[in-house]
Structure 1
Amino acid sequence: MKKILFGLVLLVVTSTGSFAQSSEEKEVYQLSMDKWQWMAEKDVEKLTPLFHPEAKFVHMSGTWTTARELEIIETGSIWYKNAKVHDTAIKIFGNTAVVWNRITLTTYVRGSDVENEFTVTEVYQKEGADWKMLALTFSSVRDTHQIEK
């Protein structure tokens, strides 16, 4: 019985990242995960084609444009050191995708590491063969917050 229970728990734990059903959901999920890595690496060359030129970014301290977000990332005035993704939900609406990630974000801001719990809402729109991010919004939440799917 213990072996069966262990096997079921292992299956659930290892399959949490592969929830996406459609190929579009899988593609958007991977793009979202890549984005967190590129932000941690301050890789504006990879982020620039992802962010729509007129996108908006909503943070705890303000709302700004793509140009300002890329400048912040490149200069490290906010360094998104690590986004530990706990839960993700994706909904495709035609050529628009909405991603909700519940994360613990470690950033380097004003000389100190800071850790916050967020649900991040990302909005993407398909342009030709590519997805472009239109919006990224950080919502402060408790670590017990759950994304309803």
Structure 2
Amino acid sequence: MKKSTLPLLLIIVIANFSFAQTSSQDQEIIKLSKEKWKWMADKNIDVLNDLFHDKSVFMHMGGAWGKEQELKVIKSGNIWYKKADIHEVSINIIDNTAILLNRIDLLAVVGGNEVTNPFMVTEVYIKQDNSWKLGSLSFTRLLTAPGNNSH
């Protein structure tokens, strides 16, 4: 009986370790995403420059562009990401790629006007040399009113 329980116990221990690693990696990306919103609000261009992959793309309601343009937009204040209220987060990691979805209400200043919009934001991160780089940030405006959490 002891011989048959040992392999089962090893399988359970290995499975628990695998889930713990995945959960830890999920939490790492979720934390990085939250920090990114703060860095964007603070217009912390140096940190964002390191986070954004050189080939990253950004999709907004008003257009799409690359890393250099996104950094210019943030630095100039053309879009000031003042505060992202995060309501839901989901993450899916496939090999060295993490896809994170945030349902947020974004308080921003756009063209001098303060606006709040409900968005589903898709963030794609790529792991390179043991660090995560943002490869894509895409805003999809939701039809629900800001602060309305019902679906």
Relative to the length of structure 2, the TM-score reads 0.80
The answer as to 2:117 corresponding to 1:121 is no
Question: What does residue 91 of structure 2 align with?
Answer: 90
Quick one: distance in 2 between partners of 1:30 and 1:94? Answer: 19
Please say if residues 87 and 149 of structure 2, whose CA atoms lie closer than 8 Å, have aligned partners that are also in contact. Answer: no
The answer as to 2:54 corresponding to 1:23 is no
The answer as to 2:38 corresponding to 1:37 is yes
Structure 1 letter corresponding to 2:40: M
The Cα of 1:146 is off from its aligned counterpart by: 7.5
The Cα of 1:112 is off from its aligned counterpart by: 1.3
| SS of the residue 1:22 aligns to | helix
| SS of the residue 1:102 aligns to | strand
Aligned residues: 128
The runs of 5 or more residues in structure 1 that have no matched partner are 1-20
* Higher Cα radius of gyration: 2
Q: Please give the per-residue CA displacement for 1:72-116, whole angstroms capped at 9, x wherever unaligned.
A: 001111000000000000000011000000000011112210110
Relative to the length of structure 1, the TM-score reads 0.82
The Cα of 1:145 is off from its aligned counterpart by: 7.2
Quick one: distance in 2 between partners of 1:145 and 1:32? Answer: 20
Question: What does residue 60 of structure 1 align with?
Answer: 61
Quick one: distance in 2 between partners of 1:75 and 1:37? Answer: 17
The Cα of 1:142 is off from its aligned counterpart by: 2.8
The Cα of 1:58 is off from its aligned counterpart by: 0.1
| SS of the residue 2:143 aligns to | coil
Q: Percent identity?
A: 43
Question: What does residue 130 of structure 1 align with?
Answer: 131
Q: 1:33 to 1:59 in 2, by over 3 A?
A: same
Question: What does residue 19 of structure 2 align with?
Answer: none
